[in-house]
Structure 1
Amino acid sequence: MIGSELTEKIIGEAIFVHRNLGPGLLESTYETCLFHRLIKAGLSVEKEKPMPVFFDGVRLDCGYRLDLVVEDSVVLELKSVKKLREIHLAQMITYLKLGGYQTGLLMNFNVLRLVDGIKRVKV
């Protein structure tokens, strides 16, 4: 599956989750439900993938975890906040750079229409 086709599939599954659950729940609920839907769709998904930090020539396990990584290529950072802020975007960019990924989807489930809460991020 090519990049845009994969992200469209992910977004479609996220919309399915949002339509069925609605806004206002915990991030962990959306994460678990989206993980289930992506697996059911036949995609390879890692949940809470550990992400070490390489600093000063040393690998440091700082406790960072990527919410979901789909097909070892798209990082999903899920939020359930009033509004996405610049710091959320900066966090996603940092995760992509540190993990060596090129594509991320920042998703805020605390919106009326999920399409209004999705940002595609490329580095």
Structure 2
Amino acid sequence: MDREQYNIITGIVIGASIEVHRELGPGLLESVYEACLTEELASRGLKVKNQVFLPILYKEKALGKNFKIDLLIEDEVIVELKSVEKLLDVHEIQLVTYLRLANKKLGLLINFNVPVLTKGVRRRINGIL
């Protein structure tokens, strides 16, 4: 996937997130935003997977435990959703770790608990796009 394709996908995800936020407003549970955003993204023609298991490997050994990625878009872009008062460094670190462990290039961290959604969006890159 090239840079332009990533930009198109993230543009659609951010636009859909703005629409969900406009409809619902801030202050709801993350699971509500996840369900609504999944529906909105599917209606816009994107392939969306929810709660994708990412196996924990330690020194190349599977431990039978998993991380869960909130959304995986087009099998390429990880989207981590939050509904918190403030995004913390640990939230961004979590996304970067998921990108590295899943061998994905691009991720979005979206906090719905803000007055203006664009203030709650962070884009992170793993490696070079």
Q: Which residue, 18, 23, 29 being the options, matches 2:21?
A: 18
Q: Which residue, 111, 114, 124 being the options, matches 1:108?
A: 111
TM-superposed CA distance for 1:59, in Å, is 1.8
8 Å CA contact 2:56, 2:66 repeated in 1: no
Cα displacement string for residues 59-88 of structure 1 (whole angstroms, at most 9, x for unaligned residues): 233231100000011100000000000000
RMSD, matched Cα: 1.0
Counterpart Cα distance in 1 of 2:56 and 2:100? 10
TM-score (norm 2): 0.92
Aligned length: 123
Q: Give 1:75's aligned residue.
A: 78
The AA in structure 2 aligned to 1:9 is I
The AA in structure 1 aligned to 2:113 is N
Q: Which residue, 4, 9, 16 being the options, matches 1:6?
A: 9
Gap regions ≥5 residues in structure 2: none
Is 1:90 the counterpart of 2:97? The answer is no
Query: Percent identity over the alignment?
Result: 43
TM-superposed CA distance for 1:53, in Å, is 1.5
Q: Segments of 4+ in structure 1 off by > 2 A?
A: none
Cα displacement string for residues 77-109 of structure 1 (whole angstroms, at most 9, x for unaligned residues): 000000000000100000000011110000000
Secondary structure (helix, strand or coil) at the match of 2:18 reads helix
TM-score (norm 1): 0.97
Q: Give 2:69's aligned residue.
A: 66
8 Å CA contact 1:23, 1:109 repeated in 2: yes
8 Å CA contact 1:80, 1:110 repeated in 2: yes
8 Å CA contact 1:51, 1:61 repeated in 2: no
Secondary structure (helix, strand or coil) at the match of 1:61 reads strand
